[in-house]
Amino acid sequence: MQIDIITVLPELLESPLSHSIMKRAKDKGLLQVHIHSLRKWAVNEYGQVDDYQYGGGAGMVMMCEPLAKAIDDLQKEVTYDAIIFLTPDGKTLNQKIANSLSLKKNLLMICGHYKGIDERIREHYVTMEISIGDYVLSGGELAAAVLVDALGRLLPGVLNDETSALTDSFQDNLLAPPVYTRPSDFRGWKVPEILLGGDPKKIEEWRYEKATERTKQRRPDLLQEDEV
């Protein structure tokens, strides 16, 4: 998978995508992430990529011209399956969206900043808008990092145990069940006996029961979605 990211602050993306599982994915050649500074396509020698909004109001807006030129240039080299704008008013990211996007080959992400981007870019270039929650960040860079991480870990061969991603929370609309490790008895707090018994069938039944129970308690809306 190749992911290109357009941003005015490429430095914000360097650390999140250079460690842990994302580093492993890139080292294995399973994920390529290219970060592009929008200022490369600035309208003048001062690196301008934003301007005041028409009609007045607080906050600068990322200009049409730099973004359009950046996207046009990148599209000369790559055919994108989706051009994604990270924005608070986009569709809220969930596991189903992550699963679907992880099957794509090439994605382009646009990180908003300031007051947002010129609406004409959204109308003529963007094919998908994604939010990571009902709150506002200083820019789309951290949201892009979240999305890249959510996709990258789903790529076959990235995780050491391929079944790990399949048993994460939100797969099958269930939260993950409780997990335990050594010692089996810590301060009198004991691991459930069924997990120590070695019967795979009973353990899976227990995990499903606990996952369903936890989901009913904490996120009953997920079970309602499953019924629909």
Written as tens digits, the pLDDT of the chain (228 aa) is 999 999 999 999 988 888 888 888 999 999 999 999 999 999 999 999 999 999 998 899 999 999 999 999 999 999 999 999 999 999 999 999 999 999 999 999 999 988 999 999 999 999 999 999 999 999 999 999 999 999 999 999 898 765 566 566 566 789 889 999 999 999 999 999 999 999 999 999 999 999 999 999 999 998 986 554
Query: What confidence score (pLDDT) does residue 203 get?
Result: 96
In whole angstroms, what is the distance from residue 226 CA to residue 228 CA?
5
Q: How many CA atoms lie within 13 A of 47 on its CB side?
A: 7
Sheet containing strand 128-131, edge to edge, reads 32-37, 2-7, 106-111, 82-92, 128-131
Query: What confidence score (pLDDT) does residue 138 get?
Result: 92
Report DSSP state, residue 171: G
202 lies in the same domain as 132 = no
143 lies in the same domain as 199 = no
3-class DSSP assignment, residue 44: coil
User: What would you report as the CA-atom Rg of the chain, rounded to the nearest whole angstrom?
Assistant: 21
Residue type, 142: L
Tokens matching residue 55? 């009609």
198 lies in the same domain as 147 = no
Closest listed residue to residue 158, CA positions, set 36, 60, 5, 22: 22
Q: For the domain that residue 32 is a member of, what is the CATH number? A: 3.40.1280.10
179 lies in the same domain as 147 = no
132 lies in the same domain as 178 = no
126 lies in the same domain as 206 = no
10 lies in the same domain as 81 = yes
**How many structural domains is the chain composed of?**
2
**Would residue 10 count as lying in a domain?**
yes
End-to-end Cα distance, the chain: 32
35 lies in the same domain as 102 = yes
Query: What confidence score (pLDDT) does residue 168 get?
Result: 63
Decide which of 107, 124, 152 is a domain's last residue: 152
Q: For the domain that residue 208 is a member of, what is the CATH number? A: 1.10.1270.20
In whole angstroms, what is the distance from residue 148 CA to residue 127 CA?
17
Range(s) of the domain holding residue 63: 2-152
Instruction: Report yes or no: 33 and 17 within 8 Å, Cβ to Cβ.
Output: yes
Instruction: Report yes or no: 25 and 129 within 8 Å, Cβ to Cβ.
Output: no
75 lies in the same domain as 17 = yes
184 lies in the same domain as 146 = no
Unique residue bearing structure tokens 């094919």: 127
Decide which of 152, 180, 195 is a domain's last residue: 152
